[in-house]
Amino acid sequence: MSLNVGVVGASGYAGGELVRLLSTHPKVSISMVTSRRNAGKPVSNEIPILKGRLNIKFEEPDPPKIIEKCDFVFMATPHAVSMELTPQILEVGIKVVDLSGDFRLKNPEIFKRYYGVDHKAPDLLDEAVYGLPEINREKIKNARLVACPGCFATPSIIALFPLVKEKLIREHVFIDAKTGSSGAGRTPSPADHHPERTNMVRPYSPGEHRHVPEIEQALAPHGKVKVTFVPHAVDMVRGILSTIYSITMENVDEQSVWKAFRSCYSGERFIRFIHWKSGGLYRFPNPKITLGTNYCDLGFKLLKDQKTLIIFSSIDNLIKGAAGQAIQNMNIMLGYEEDAGLDFPGIYPV
C-alpha cells in the first residue's frame, strides 16, 4: 500500500524536483501538491517534464486539507512559512521533512540574525533533527521533524566532518563555493537575469551567508570550527563545488586523510571518493559529474610542505542539496530502503 505524500510549496525548483523524484518512488503516492500562486492549475504547467506522468492540480496550502489528504508532508516553502504550518501538521501525528531554513538553527537569536524574522515555533528548534543522513542517521530514524540542510552546507559539512572528528585540521577553515543559477530560486531577480549571470563569476555575501552558522553548528559536537565562507554565482544552472582550505595538525599525511574519510563514509550509498591519481579527465570532484544525482563526490590534495589540506566536495544543489536528501531522510524515517526513489546515475555528457 502506497503512502500518501504531500508537497507544500512545489512551484519552486527544489519543490519541483521533489515532485519529480516522488513521482517514481516505489513506496509513495503523491496525494497533494500546493502552490498559492498556481492553485487550480495543472502541476505539469510548472513542472513540464511531468506532462503525461502526473495528472493532478496545485491546491491551496490549507492545513486542514493537508492533514486530511496526507500521511507524510514535505515543506518546500520559502523561509519563514514552514514555521507557521508545520506545528499544525505535527500536532496530528504527521511527520514532516522541511526543506526551508526554518528549523535548521537551534538558537532563535541566531535564526533572527540570519533570516531577519522572529521564530514563530521556537519550541520545535531543539526537537528538529538536522537531516544530514551520513552524520545523523540514528536520530533521523526516530524523528517526527527533520530539517534538511542548506545546499552549501551539505557538501561543506560532509567534507569537513571526518577531518574535524579525527582532529586532523586546525580550527579555522576557508570555504570557496561555486553555485549555479537554480540555487537562487525560481523568482526572477536582476542578479540572475541571463545577461548578468552569463560569462561571469560573482562573489556575494562574503563571510555573512546564512549557511555559515549551520555548518559551524553541525560540526560543533565533534570539534570547534570557525568558518570563513565565500559563495560565488557562476555560469551554470545546477551544481555546487565547495573548495575548502585548511591547515593540518602535525604529522598528517595522505593516508591519514583517506583513513578518516573511509572510517566515516565507507559503505555510504551516496558518498563517492575521487582520487586525483586515478587518471581520466575528472581527477577531482566536479558538479558536472554529480549533476542529476543524489551523490556527493569527495576528493582532496595535501600540500604537506605547507601543512595545507585542500578538500573538494561536489553535489547537485537541487538533489543532494535539497529534494534528493529530503527523500533520503523520509526513507530513513519510515524504514524504507535508503536509496528508494534515488537509485539512478546522472547524465553524461551535459
* 302 neighbors 254 (Cβ within 8 angstroms): yes
Which CATH number does 3-149+319-334 carry? 3.40.50.720
Question: Per-residue pLDDT for 70 more than 90?
Answer: yes
Q: Mean pLDDT over residues 282-311, rounded? A: 96
C-alpha cell of residue 329: 531522510
Find how far residue 241's CA is from the centre of its chain: 13
**DSSP-derived pairing of the beta strands 169-179 and 226-234:** parallel
74-86 burial code (b ≥16 CB/10 A, e <16): bbbbebbbbbebb
7-44 burial code (b ≥16 CB/10 A, e <16): bbbbbbbbbbbbbbbbbebebbebbbbbbeebeeeebb
What pLDDT does residue 135 have? 97
User: Scanning the structure block, which residue is given the C-alpha cell 562574503?
Assistant: 206
**Who contacts 327 (Cβ-Cβ below 8 Å, separation ≥6)?**
18, 21, 22, 25, 340, 341, 342
What pLDDT does residue 338 have? 98
Catalytic site positions: 151
C-alpha cell of residue 299: 576528493
What pLDDT does residue 322 have? 98
Question: Per-residue pLDDT for 266 more than 90?
Answer: yes
> Which overall architecture, per CATH, does domain 153-315 show?
2-Layer Sandwich (3.30)
Going from N- to C-terminal start, the domains of the chain cover: 3-149+319-334, 153-315
What pLDDT does residue 48 have? 93
Does the model's pTM come out above 0.85?
yes
What pLDDT does residue 145 have? 98
State pLDDT tens for residues 94-138.
999 999 999 999 999 999 999 999 999 999 999 999 999 999 999
What pLDDT does residue 90 have? 98
What pLDDT does residue 196 have? 82
